[in-house]
Structure 1
């Protein structure tokens, strides 16, 4: 009787196990690479802010439905502007702007088909921007802005053993920065079950971010 009950339990659970593990989507991985953030300041003098840098990201599956994730990115933009104050008084401003972003959150995924998962995410987000300048006549200054808040997103992730993609739409509120919608789209090409290359685009109002890197899935 016990053997029959165990066999019945295994057969009942088999479709859920196949759905969670047989779609080739891993929620335990580490990745890193290049990132570029662009902010449209609508400033004719300094122009847009474009920060080039790097990022790291990771995810760990806690159960067949839940996972935790985190990321950190950092980029810097250097610019030089000459301003003519009249009377032959031209001052050169060397400007350095650095953007850092960290995120940590909890995700949920549920199979919607053989190769597609529904995903939902809640995350804490911190954004730091450090601004400094020096001039040709010896002046200098600096300022920094720290924004903290949360992000919530819903989306789809799916694909095959070789290619996969994901799209997410959500809302982000960083306190000092007014809340806004956030959209994310990305994809991965897999060389094998472990290694792949990834690319992702994220858009939040005037801020857009592109990243490309290498992912190791487990």
Structure 2
């Protein structure tokens, strides 16, 4: 009787472990449910001869709400205090579709809302403003092997408060375990570059 109960317990534990591993990622090893914390660096061109560097932090998250569909969000805040105090923040909320196109790759299409804010302070006087816009993105996520995933997207940002432009973005994820990984991302725009490195927990 005890051996039967022990065998049942081992089978149950094995089944739970397999289920958890399946929930952590799709069959191709790519997860759309995660939370992430980042160090963020941004570079902005002011004119032909001057640019400003900003540094700060960010958080991201994504949740797969159904097969092939996910929602996502991100927030980051960076600052520069070289001459005057300038704080930049960006919020993004969106909805995405992903479809397997190979054993180890997905095609991705995403639509999102963006808000960028700026706060400037000098000698106790401050002013702030914000801009709203929308973004459409399309690209691919792929697993190079069981430990490394990569992402490439082309983004189109538009809106009454934004200058319309296309920007490429790149990302890499290196997995320590099925749950935890290191991530790095870059987006290069016309006069605006943003980089981030961080830690991600996949669920």
TM range (shorter): 0.7 to 0.9
Match of 1:29 in 2: 34
Q: Is the 8 A contact 2:91 2:116 kept in 1?
A: yes
Q: Is the 8 A contact 2:133 2:162 kept in 1?
A: no
Q: Is the 8 A contact 1:30 1:59 kept in 2?
A: yes
Give matches, 1:27-176, under 5 Å.
27-42=32-47, 47-80=50-83, 95-134=84-123, 141-159=125-143, 160-176=145-161
Structure 1 segments unaligned to the other structure (5+ residues): 1-16, 81-94, 135-139
What is the distance in 2 between the residues matched to 1:216 and 1:177? Answer: 32
Structure 2 segments unaligned to the other structure (5+ residues): 1-21
What is the distance in 1 between the residues matched to 2:62 and 2:172? Answer: 16
Q: CA RMSD in A?
A: 1.6
| C-alpha distance after superposition, 1:78-131 (max 9, x if no partner) | 013xxxxxxxxxxxxxx0111000000001000010000000000000000111
Match of 2:4 in 1: none
Q: Is the 8 A contact 1:171 1:180 kept in 2?
A: yes
Q: Is the 8 A contact 2:173 2:182 kept in 1?
A: yes
Q: Is the 8 A contact 2:167 2:188 kept in 1?
A: yes
> Runs of 4+ in structure 1 displaced over 3 angstroms?
none
Larger radius of gyration: 1
Shift of 1:158: 0.3
What is the distance in 1 between the residues matched to 2:82 and 2:160? Answer: 29
Match of 1:188 in 2: 173
Structure 2 length-normalised TM: 0.84
Match of 2:201 in 1: 216
**Larger mean Cα displacement after TM superposition, 201-210 or 175-184:** 175-184
| C-alpha distance after superposition, 1:17-37 (max 9, x if no partner) | 9xx831000100000020011
Q: How many residues matched?
A: 179
Q: Is the 8 A contact 1:37 1:51 kept in 2?
A: yes
Match of 2:178, SS state, is coil
Shift of 1:183: 1.3
What is the distance in 1 between the residues matched to 2:126 and 2:153? Answer: 36
What is the distance in 2 between the residues matched to 1:71 and 1:22? Answer: 26
